[in-house]
Amino acid sequence: MSVKKIIALALVMVVLLAGSVLVINSMVSAGDAGEVRMVQDAVKNAALTCFAVEGAFPYDLDYLRENYGLAYDEEKYHVLYEAFASNQMPEIRVTIRGDGLI
């Protein structure tokens, strides 16, 4: 095999490897985004259920855990739950711990 063919083959292999890594990374990121959305939806639904039952949004996540069965992996996710008033939907933000966003 000539040197040009070997170099061309090596370049094709590098491009394919790099493309594979990018595809895998994007798939993992999409999965993480879906999980974050599920945790955020769970917190929001628990808060809305509390409001429907009690007429007020709770002031903290502990109340939702104890009274409405809210559960998520606290070692994996950080949930920011900021309640302003009992009649206003709290601000809910979820991030994956270790992403540098906390």
C-beta separation of 51 from 57 below 8 A: yes
pLDDT in the model for residue 40: 94
Q: What is the pLDDT along the chain (102 residues), one digit of tens a residue?
A: 787 777 767 666 665 555 555 555 555 555 677 889 999 999 999 999 999 999 999 999 999 999 999 999 999 999 999 999 999 999 999 999 875 544
H or E element, residue 96 = strand 91-96
